[in-house]
Structure 1
């Protein structure tokens, strides 16, 4: 009997579901309670799969069940299998009702308060029956893991770096701008340069974060060492609020500073800013079936960002 026969005849979706439940709960007893089956049934299913594959999937101990390297591989297979089935069911649902489905979008704080509202408005007008689940994701490895585990369908984020298993598409890139409160003394100056504000009360992202590293490069490209911020945060609402008070200065991507909601409160200083630009990207898994609603959302994202870029120019 060859390998494919063993897989097809002996491993069922129910078995994969049990493996995933044990991995998620870390205990066969807890998995049994979640699945509403007996503890011996879970233990027997795991033992039979291990016998079929000829490898140990879990290390059992007093603290519970922990995945082995073999178990990690089978877990990823299970996640992929159930995700593909879910996408297929969504496609079937879409064939019977094109205005249906769900799109799970992950985005960072700065994208959530700049680009996403315009996309959501346009998409919801065109597809009023599609439910959008928009989640705030932390920048860096966490958001990538959310994609790998199929907890979200796509990311709209700032630059994530290159990953072989992801498709990453740059929507636009833009410069950073220096920003003060619209009613501050600095905003009323006719002439100003970076020397006038370098010793101010800065609110900036931490330099060891992805956006903070870019901000640090902006200062260096303009001939200054990055100042010590009075407030370190990546929360865009807090940043804008503090700058608008007139007591802080900051650096923002041009699109954020130009938002209509911020225009009355912020003043972009007429300083030529050298250094890196910051990009916005849409990211999703390669070789993964995208449901019709997700594909439509991606198309809408492309069109909305194109129109926004044209307006800013």
Structure 2
């Protein structure tokens, strides 16, 4: 296929925009309504692109239009092209006013309620004109998919395992600590130990989850079989609240115990718990142009976590 004759001169940004609208709406009629153009105009544009490329982009039916494998590939291209254009426009805006832009940040629950507030406070002081869109993302493949679809610019999460199309930078790694309520009966002891709390009410992630597997290894490294938790949950706010009540005990990453909103009513046992450590990573899409605001946010996150590592 000759680029200049068959694609370069004939495939336009408008065509890609229409294709993206049809894919999102699920039908040409609905896409026409959203674009405020006629249904025949949408149908003609798609047909002309299919003729130019020599492939079928949509399977049409009475239920609507569904992307073919060829259409999926072209849709990704269109998404990338429009995203790069948007990033370029943001860079142009920052040349005239560096204190502008937007950062769309995804965070898992445990990061959102510990590390994120410290980064957001410092960044907002340094760049008061930049808007932050902070979203809770579900762990696992869902958070990676949001990055791939460019719904977020950055992701701060626990270790993901680097995938081929992402850049991942470890901000810090840290140990787990055993945590009790500051007003609990154990906190009044001069040197409370794991043996004092091992038979108490534990609030822990399920052992078959990623954090639960690490926590099981912490118990084993300290010479104990992992106890049966009274409450199984990966919800960090619930975990911290229950520990703070003094009626439950648990294990948390050191930064969560230090940065949680309930930190004044938590007490980490004076133990050097052996076992695995856990890392926090900042992840973004490889080969994607990052706006000046996003690069500034990455730099700010690095500054905050350096200070954190020194304090832990």
C-alpha spacing 1:194/1:17, structure 2 compared with 1 (3 Å): same
CA distance in structure 2 between the partners assigned to 1:220 and 1:274 by the alignment: 9
CA distance in structure 1 between the partners assigned to 2:261 and 2:140 by the alignment: 27
Q: What is residue 35 of structure 2 aligned with on the other side?
A: 35
TM superposition shift of 1:167: 0.8
Deviations 1:50-92 (A, max 9, x none): 1111111122223322221111111111110010000000011
Supply the RMSD in Å over aligned alpha carbons. 1.7
Q: What is residue 297 of structure 1 aligned with on the other side?
A: 297
Q: SS state of the match for residue 167, structure 2?
A: strand
TM superposition shift of 1:40: 2.0
Q: What is residue 62 of structure 2 aligned with on the other side?
A: 62
Paired residues, what number?
Answer: 312
Question: What 5-or-longer segments of structure 1 have no aligned partner?
Answer: none
C-alpha spacing 1:182/1:65, structure 2 compared with 1 (3 Å): same
C-alpha spacing 1:5/1:232, structure 2 compared with 1 (3 Å): farther
Larger mean CA deviation between 121-130 and 166-175 belongs to 121-130
C-alpha spacing 1:298/1:64, structure 2 compared with 1 (3 Å): same
Q: What is residue 216 of structure 1 aligned with on the other side?
A: 216
> Retained in 1: the 8 A contact 2:109–2:136?
yes
CA distance in structure 2 between the partners assigned to 1:109 and 1:203 by the alignment: 16
TM superposition shift of 1:192: 4.0
Q: What is residue 255 of structure 1 aligned with on the other side?
A: 255
C-alpha spacing 1:75/1:268, structure 2 compared with 1 (3 Å): same
C-alpha spacing 1:260/1:29, structure 2 compared with 1 (3 Å): closer
TM-score by length of 1: 0.94
Q: What is residue 86 of structure 1 aligned with on the other side?
A: 86
CA distance in structure 1 between the partners assigned to 2:213 and 2:65 by the alignment: 40
Q: What is residue 2 of structure 2 aligned with on the other side?
A: 2
Deviations 1:84-139 (A, max 9, x none): 00000001111111111111111111111111111111111111111111111111
Deviations 1:143-180 (A, max 9, x none): 11111111111111111111111111111100011111
CA distance in structure 2 between the partners assigned to 1:218 and 1:302 by the alignment: 27
C-alpha spacing 1:181/1:16, structure 2 compared with 1 (3 Å): same
TM superposition shift of 1:260: 6.8
Deviations 1:206-227 (A, max 9, x none): 3333222222222233333333
TM-score by length of 2: 0.94
Deviations 1:17-59 (A, max 9, x none): 1111222222222222222222222222111111111111122
TM superposition shift of 1:240: 0.8
Q: SS state of the match for residue 208, structure 2?
A: coil
C-alpha spacing 1:7/1:224, structure 2 compared with 1 (3 Å): farther
CA distance in structure 2 between the partners assigned to 1:15 and 1:128 by the alignment: 38
CA distance in structure 1 between the partners assigned to 2:263 and 2:34 by the alignment: 51
Q: SS state of the match for residue 118, structure 1?
A: helix
Q: SS state of the match for residue 179, structure 1?
A: strand
Q: SS state of the match for residue 47, structure 1?
A: helix
Q: What is residue 77 of structure 2 aligned with on the other side?
A: 77
TM superposition shift of 1:256: 0.9
> Retained in 2: the 8 A contact 1:140–1:210?
no
CA distance in structure 2 between the partners assigned to 1:299 and 1:124 by the alignment: 13
TM superposition shift of 1:198: 2.8
Q: What is residue 241 of structure 1 aligned with on the other side?
A: 241
> Retained in 2: the 8 A contact 1:192–1:271?
no
Give the 5 Å matches for 1:1-313: 2-259=2-259, 261-312=261-312
Q: SS state of the match for residue 227, structure 2?
A: coil
TM superposition shift of 1:191: 4.4
Question: What 5-or-longer segments of structure 2 have no aligned partner?
Answer: none
Q: SS state of the match for residue 100, structure 1?
A: coil
CA distance in structure 2 between the partners assigned to 1:51 and 1:202 by the alignment: 64
